[in-house]
């Protein structure tokens, strides 16, 4: 039965209305997977021989020491990007197929995802090298089985807590607390990790723990999904009672105020937009990376940090305009909607948040006023230039967004566009080059002024740029409508 399901999905892929784009995206994903496969295979050799010959330590012990960190990162990646293939299963629920077969197929398909098996390449290669160099065959085999099954447990954890945001926040706080305790050497978490995972090699019977956990969690997940696996319950979009809200003072600003009002309501009510707000908040801490690596302390990378710290909301929200309105965009285009006012409302909302982020970024002055001044210049550039180029790139984004579903899709076919990629040059590369060159030549003050002046020029010329953006939105209007209407 599983082979029949896979055969049907293969046919649906080649019979779809977007075969060319789907095939192109599959090829790009294949290249990405091959790249990571090469990195992981090569990483296994590098890790083993570096630890053994340069560090003169036991490779299995050292790798076991960091497996807990790898397991946590794997869980985070799967939660962010891996989703269950429920849409492909829905049509089979009306046929005479046992429901338990469908649930088991759905679980099995998650293991075919590259997010699930890529880490196994490192573990299998590393284990093979260890056996070749005289390590105990049984011990290495049980170590491989025990560790692999614990990583595969993340598939089930992701399924159980996929829609429970409260539990996810609690787990995220626990991870952050453990990371802090480890970083400040309060609790030797890495030593505990080494002892636990090395037991799979030193005491082969410990692999039974992983086998029992894997079997038990499969059964728990199966029962959890089986109970709600109906078209009118578990797979139906969740509905809540509507609420009427209005931010009254915005109404006096006409059409722009109305559009901003609607966007604020959208940000507060929907799962995807709540994720945008959370991501924007986390971007405020992006600058902390410069303190963990000397690479980020170069002038160009400091400017990149500033662009992300002050423009997180702008990049996450702006580049998906009008995709956030995809569900009612066709209706909106039948009405007398002033396109320029629609774009300017998005622009004002993004820049208000950017200005707030510039104020909050003053915390970085604790590490040096040169860092904050760099971030401040980046914020002005975001307001004057990047805000408009981000909205411009949104004209080429034809990706549908379901506001009520957690966005976990990676590499959507409609999100890839060469024109949008070209717009990254003025958004990222230009301020990086100008800031780095001027700072090296004339100093920090001149570099800050030069980037700020570019932002000021963009702000002064905003009306002219809005006219160009509106023109491109109108050119892309009908292809955008077709993409938003096509649910395939």
In a domain, 6, yes or no: no
Q: What's the whole-number mean pLDDT along residues 138-147?
A: 94
Q: What is the DSSP letter of 298?
A: S
Residue 119 lies in a domain: yes
Do 213 and 270 belong together in one domain?
no
Q: Is residue 243 part of a domain?
A: no
Q: Is pLDDT larger for residue 368 or for residue 162? A: 368
Q: How confident is the model at residue 191 (pLDDT cuts 50, 70, 90)?
A: very high
What's the number of domains the chain is made of?
Answer: 2
Instruction: Tell me which of 41-50, 121-130, 225-234, 443-452 is least confident.
Output: 225-234
Q: For 446, how many CA atoms within 13 A lie in the half-sphere containing its CB?
A: 9
CA 42 to chain CA centroid, Å, is: 26
Residue 322 lies in a domain: yes
The answer to whether residue 29 sits within a structural domain is yes
CA atoms within 13 A on the CB side of 20: 0
Confidence of residue 116 (pLDDT cuts 50, 70, 90): confident
Is the pLDDT assigned to residue 128 strictly greater than 90?
A: yes
Lowest mean pLDDT among 151-160, 248-257, 406-415: 406-415
| Residues 410 and 274 both lie in one domain | yes
Same-domain check for residues 143 and 277? no
Are 223 and 258 contained in the same domain?
Answer: no
482 burial (CB, 10 Å; 0-12 / 13-18 / 19+) is: exposed
Query: Mind listing the pLDDT tens digit for each residue in 9-37?
Result: 666 655 655 555 566 667 777 888 888 88
Considering only residues 352 and 400, tell me which one the structure prediction assigns the higher pLDDT. Answer: 352
Last residue of a domain, one of 167, 197, 227: 227
Please indicate, yes or no, whether residues 123 and 213 belong to a single structural domain of this protein. Answer: yes
268 and 199 in a common domain: no
Q: How confident is the model at residue 149 (pLDDT cuts 50, 70, 90)?
A: very high
Is the domain of 328 the same as that of 415?
yes
> What pLDDT, on the 0 to 100 scale, is given for residue 329?
77
Mean pLDDT of all residues in 300-327: 84
| Residue 403: domain span | 248-485
- List all residues 6 or more positions away from 282 whose beta carbon is below 8 Å from its beta carbon: 312
Provide the pLDDT confidence category of residue 420 given band limits of 50, 70 and 90. low
- Measured between alpha carbons, how far is 378 from 450 in angstroms, rounded to an integer? 11
Q: Give 404's DSSP letter.
A: T
The answer to whether residue 144 sits within a structural domain is yes
Contact 284, 360 (CB under 8 A): yes
């Amino acid at each position: 039965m599983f082979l029949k399901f896979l055969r049907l999905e293969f046919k649906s892929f080649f019979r779809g209305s977007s075969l060319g784009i789907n095939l192109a995206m599959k090829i790009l994903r294949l290249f990405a997977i091959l790249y990571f496969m090469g990195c992981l295979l090569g990483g296994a050799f590098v890790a083993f021989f570096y630890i053994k010959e340069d560090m003169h330590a036991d490779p299995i012990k050292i790798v076991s020491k960091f497996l807990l960190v790898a397991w946590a990162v794997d869980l985070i990646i799967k939660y962010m990007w891996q989703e269950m293939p429920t849409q492909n299963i829905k049509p089979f629920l009306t046929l005479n197929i046992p429901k338990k077969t469908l649930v088991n197929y759905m679980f099995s398909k998650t293991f075919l995802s590259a997010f699930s098996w890529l880490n196994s390449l490192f573990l299998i290669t590393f284990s093979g090298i260890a056996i070749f160099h005289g390590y105990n065959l049984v011990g290495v085999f049980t170590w491989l089985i025990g560790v692999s099954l614990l990583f595969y447990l993340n598939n089930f954890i992701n399924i159980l807590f996929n829609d429970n945001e409260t539990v996810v926040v609690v787990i995220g706080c626990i991870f952050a607390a453990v990371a802090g305790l480890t970083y400040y050497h309060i609790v030797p978490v890495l030593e505990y990790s080494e002892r636990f995972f090395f037991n799979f090699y030193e005491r082969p019977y410990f692999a039974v723990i992983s086998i029992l956990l894997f079997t038990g969690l499969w059964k728990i997940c199966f029962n959890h999904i089986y109970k709600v696996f109906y078209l009118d319950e578990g797979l139906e979009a969740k509905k809540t009672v509507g609420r009427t809200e209005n931010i009254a003072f915005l109404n006096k600003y006409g059409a722009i105020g109305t559009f901003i009002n609607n966007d604020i309501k959208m940000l507060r009510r929907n799962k995807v937009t709540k994720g945008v707000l959370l991501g924007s908040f986390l971007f405020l801490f992006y600058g902390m990376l410069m303190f963990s690596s000397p690479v980020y302390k170069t002038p160009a990378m400091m400017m990149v940090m500033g662009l992300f710290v002050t423009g997180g909301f702008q990049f996450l929200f702006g580049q998906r305009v009008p995709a956030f309105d995809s569900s009612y965009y066709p209706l909106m285009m039948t009405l007398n909607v002033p396109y320029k006012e629609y774009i300017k409302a998005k622009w004002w909302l993004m820049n208000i948040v950017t200005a707030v982020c510039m104020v909050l970024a003053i915390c970085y002055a604790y590490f040096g006023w040169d860092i904050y001044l760099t971030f401040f210049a980046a914020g002005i550039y975001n307001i004057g230039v990047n805000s408009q180029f981000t909205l411009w790139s949104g004209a080429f984004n034809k990706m549908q967004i379901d506001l009520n579903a957690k966005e976990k899709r990676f590499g959507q076919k409609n999100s890839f566009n060469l024109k949008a990629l070209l717009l990254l040059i003025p958004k990222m590369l230009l301020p990086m080059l100008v800031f780095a060159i001027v700072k090296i030549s004339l100093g920090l003050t001149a570099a800050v002024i030069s980037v700020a002046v570019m932002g000021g020029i963009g702000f002064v010329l905003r009306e002219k740029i809005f006219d160009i953006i509106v023109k491109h939105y109108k050119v892309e209007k009908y292809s955008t409508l077709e993409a938003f209407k096509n649910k395939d």
